[in-house]
Structure 1
Amino acid sequence: MRGPFRWSSKWWPGVIPLAVLWAIAAWTDTAPLESDLVAQSTAALKDIVLDKTRITVAGRDVTLGADAFSEQGRRSAVAQVEAVPGVRLVDDETHLVPEAKPFVWSAERDVVRVTLGGSAPLPASKGKLLEAARAGLGGVEVADQMNLARGAPARFDNAALLLIDQIGKLKDGKITISDDKVSLSGMARELGGREAIAAALKNLPEGFSVAANEIRAPPYIFEAYKDPVAVTLTLSGDVPDNNVHATIAAAAARKFYSEKVVDNLKASVGAPGGFAAAVVPALGALSRLSTGTLVVSDREVKLSGDALYDAAANQIRAGLTKDFPQGFQLKADISVKPPAAPVDATVCQQLFSELLAKGNIRFESGRADILADSAGLLDGLIETALRCPTANIEIAGHTDTDGDDASNKMLSERRAQAVADYLVRAGLPADRFTAAGYGSTQPVAANDTDEGKAQNRRIEFLVR
């Protein structure tokens, strides 16, 4: 009879290689299985919208972690993995994405970037909004600060995409969706932008409404610059329409008797009421300056430059305040040009003749009332008279041949006197001027054409 079983020291070392082979075999069988289960589980979830999905496998046990966007989606994800062949157990570590109450999304534009913030309902929605912003904003930096959250209103994507189109029309500002209410604030990039945004908001998806639209229009700006060196008047900026454009261009041509008018105006919506009624007299004031700038920004009128003499500066300030439509404000920065050097009588006559060759003093038809369009020319004549303080000057009035001789002579005298009175009101001594009327007796052109008659209707300054 044999004794108790004992390990033989001769064969037990063979157990070690056997154990190693068993471990290798177990590993080589398990690793492919686990990889296969990961692949099959991932494939099973391809039609379910999840975020932060992670799948790990130990043997035939699967741990599923993910953020789901509905309770149904979360349960469906777990069920799909449980149904994968070979899976023994699913450890459910899924969670619902937090719900946003209220559901708020925003697009904000500053000087350098557009920031999308708040909540998006799905990863696909988030990607779609980012893509639309980057594609539609012409290279502007787009910063993504959106979180994922449940609770979006129906048709959220459509509403947000429409609003991203509007952010491109802003210079700066913010557009917000709060549940189904839309709020907008900021400054439109261009004139007409505010109106374009308001029109687009009418196409918001059903169920959405505008709670606040505080988009402001950019300033409505008209500018005019009188350059004595280039002898030009440059008009730039905005006018309401072609009719107002034509009115302003015609007024400029009448008031600026010697300057070439460079017209860079463009028609734009958004002009304040009374725009033309403010711009036309403001151009008249600018015509009285030797050099100057006029800027009309909404209802604020800024006029700066040099008047030709002291009384003109005071007249310009007082006249504009009186002539402006209600609601317009004047900011005048008017200095007085240093007086030019005195000249003798011969040069004085030459200067008068040169000025009057460029433009005529204009009157009401058949009357002696001087039109405001002539203020710039008259100021030039006054400046010249100040340069020859000892010269006596005859102001001679002339008419065309329309009407009878007696009436024409009387009208020419009254017009000459009106000019003399204008010069005296500017501070010149009355005893330096003599008003004379010659009617139609001294024509400079034939009276058989309108152009000839216009040349004959004139005022002359004669140094005596």
Structure 2
Amino acid sequence: MRGLFRWSGKWWPGIIPLIVLWAFAAWTSTAPLENDLAARSSEALKGAVLDKTKIAADGRDVSLSAYAFSDEGRRAALASVAAVPGVRLVDDETRLVAEAKPFVWSAERDVVRVTLGGNAPLPALKTKLSEAARSALKGVEVADQMTLARGAPPRFEDAALLLIGQIGKLKDGKFTISDGDVTLSGMARELGGREAIAAALKDLPDGFKIASNEVKAPPYIFQAYKDPVALTVSLSGNVPDENIHAVVVGASSRRFFGEKVVDNLKNSVGAPSGFVNAVVPALGALSRLSTGTLMVSEREIKISGDALYDEAARQIQSGLAKDVPQGWQVKAEITVKPAAGPVDATVCQQLFSDLLGKTRIRFETGRADIDRDSTGLLDRIVEIALRCPSANIEIAGHTDAEGDEAANQALSQKRAQAVVDYLVKAGLPADRFTAVGHGSTQPIASNGTSDGRAQNRRIDFVVR
């Protein structure tokens, strides 16, 4: 027995390497087979719609872990793996993706990005919606925060893609689908954007409806800036249509006689009621300023700048509020331009001649009422008269030769007196001015043409 024990003791250590070699051989032969079986099982699921899929093989048994989007899809995936040659048993660890009630999806835009949130019904559609947003908003960051869920209403894809196509019309805001209800909020990027979005969403698929549309239009802004250095009046912003566009530019051309009108206006929907009846008087007030800025936003007028003399500042402050339609607000910040130095009579006469060589004082047809388009010109005349305080000035009225001469003489006298009245109301002494009517007796052009007659209808200033 002792001899046998000694022999057994020598034999036992030798079997350990054999066991290790056997285990290594078994492992090296089994691992490739399991990897191959797992790979072929994965290939069998290539067309299946699953999420978070994991496959592992243990011998000939395959474990399938995944989220499916329907019972049919789940059963089909298990059957596909079971049909793989060599698979003995499929360990089912699949689950259904959670169902969202209600099924909510959203697209939200802020200053820097668009965020897609809520639920998407399938991985491929989740990717498609993100790619559609990037295509519609080139250069804008798109953040995909969608989660996968069951329960999407029929034609959800069509509705979501339609909304994504409209997100570029928002400056900021949010579109939301909750089952079949669509809600919209935010600010449109441009005037007309709100209306364009509403028009596009008339094509929502059946089963979807607009539950709430709170998209607002951006402020409707009209601006004008009078630059005395560049001698320009720049118009920018919005006007309702081509007809009002022409009215605004025409009024500017008549009132800003010494400046070039730079027209950068756009025709845009959304103007507040009474727009043109507010803008034209406001332009008249701006024409009375040496330099100034006008802004019209919604139903508010803001005007600032330098008037040419004290009384003009007071008139603009109080008068504009009376001239605009009811319901409009006026905020005027008018200062007075520093007075220029005095000049002698000769220079004063030259200043009047230069000014009236560019334009003329207009009156209502056949009447002595001064046309409001001439208010800015008359303020410039007041400014010149203030610079020659010791001079006496004759204001001479002239007409063309049409009609009765006695009537023409009377009309010319009344028109000259209307100009004197304006100057006196501006604060100048009445005894410095004399109104004289010459009728048609002193023409400067032929009365045989309309242009000649227009030149003859004039007011002259003669410095004594």
Q: Which deviates more from structure 2 when the two are superposed, residues 181-190 or residues 25-34?
A: 25-34
Q: Give the drift of 1:449.
A: 0.9
Task: Output the CA distance in 1 between the equivalents of 2:330 and 2:185.
Answer: 29
Task: Output the CA distance in 1 between the equivalents of 2:36 and 2:7.
Answer: 42
Q: What is the identity, as a one-letter code, of the residue corresponding to 2:54?
A: R
1:412–1:26 distance in 2 versus 1, CA, 3 Å: same
Q: What is the identity, as a one-letter code, of the residue corresponding to 1:294?
A: L
Structure 1: gaps spanning 5 or more residues: none
Q: Give the drift of 1:7.
A: 6.9
Task: Output the CA distance in 1 between the equivalents of 2:313 and 2:279.
Answer: 18
Structure 2: gaps spanning 5 or more residues: none
| 1:202 partner SS | helix
Q: What is the identity, as a one-letter code, of the residue corresponding to 1:353?
A: S
Q: Which deviates more from structure 2 when the two are superposed, residues 69-78 or residues 376-385?
A: 69-78
Q: Give the drift of 1:5.
A: 12
Residue in 1 aligned with 2:299?
A: 299
Q: Give the drift of 1:376.
A: 0.3
Q: Give the drift of 1:255.
A: 0.8
Q: Which deviates more from structure 2 when the two are superposed, residues 121-130 or residues 350-359?
A: 350-359
Q: How does 1:109-148 map to 2 (within 5 A)?
A: 109-148=109-148
Paired residues, number: 462
String of CA shifts for 1:258-284, please: whole Å, max 9, x gaps.
111111222222222221111111111
Task: Output the CA distance in 1 between the equivalents of 2:274 and 2:379.
Answer: 27
Runs of 4+ in 1 over 4 A off after TM superposition: 4-18
Residue 36 (str. 1) matches residue 36 (str. 2) = yes
Q: Which deviates more from structure 2 when the two are superposed, residues 106-115 or residues 264-273?
A: 264-273
| 1:74 partner SS | helix
Q: How does 1:20-35 map to 2 (within 5 A)?
A: 20-35=20-35
Residue in 2 aligned with 1:368?
A: 368
Residue 222 (str. 1) matches residue 212 (str. 2) = no
String of CA shifts for 1:299-345, please: whole Å, max 9, x gaps.
22111111111111121122211111233221111111111111122
Q: What is the identity, as a one-letter code, of the residue corresponding to 1:324?
A: V
Task: Output the CA distance in 1 between the equivalents of 2:7 and 2:61.
Answer: 38
Residue in 1 aligned with 2:56?
A: 56
String of CA shifts for 1:10-64, please: whole Å, max 9, x gaps.
8777755654554344234322321222122112222221100001111112111
Task: Output the CA distance in 2 between the equivalents of 1:10 and 1:236.
Answer: 106
Q: What is the identity, as a one-letter code, of the residue corresponding to 2:49?
A: V
Q: Which deviates more from structure 2 when the two are superposed, residues 399-408 or residues 259-268?
A: 259-268
Q: Give the drift of 1:77.
A: 2.1
Task: Output the CA distance in 2 between the equivalents of 1:368 and 1:176.
Answer: 64
Q: Give the drift of 1:163.
A: 0.7
Residue in 2 aligned with 1:105?
A: 105
Q: What is the identity, as a one-letter code, of the residue corresponding to 1:253?
A: S
Residue in 2 aligned with 1:88?
A: 88
Task: Output the CA distance in 2 between the equivalents of 1:326 and 1:33.
Answer: 89
TM-score with structure 1 setting the length: 0.95
Task: Output the CA distance in 2 between the equivalents of 1:449 and 1:179.
Answer: 76
Task: Output the CA distance in 2 between the equivalents of 1:19 and 1:7.
Answer: 20
Q: Give the drift of 1:431.
A: 1.4
| 1:207 partner SS | coil
Q: How does 1:413-432 map to 2 (within 5 A)?
A: 413-432=413-432
RMSD: 1.9
| 1:435 partner SS | strand
Q: What is the identity, as a one-letter code, of the residue corresponding to 1:441?
A: T
Q: What is the identity, as a one-letter code, of the residue corresponding to 2:323?
A: D
| 2:94 partner SS | strand
Residue in 2 aligned with 1:250?
A: 250
Q: What is the identity, as a one-letter code, of the residue corresponding to 1:170?
A: L
Task: Output the CA distance in 1 between the equivalents of 2:382 and 2:10.
Answer: 136
Task: Output the CA distance in 2 between the equivalents of 1:267 and 1:455.
Answer: 36
Residue 274 (str. 1) matches residue 274 (str. 2) = yes
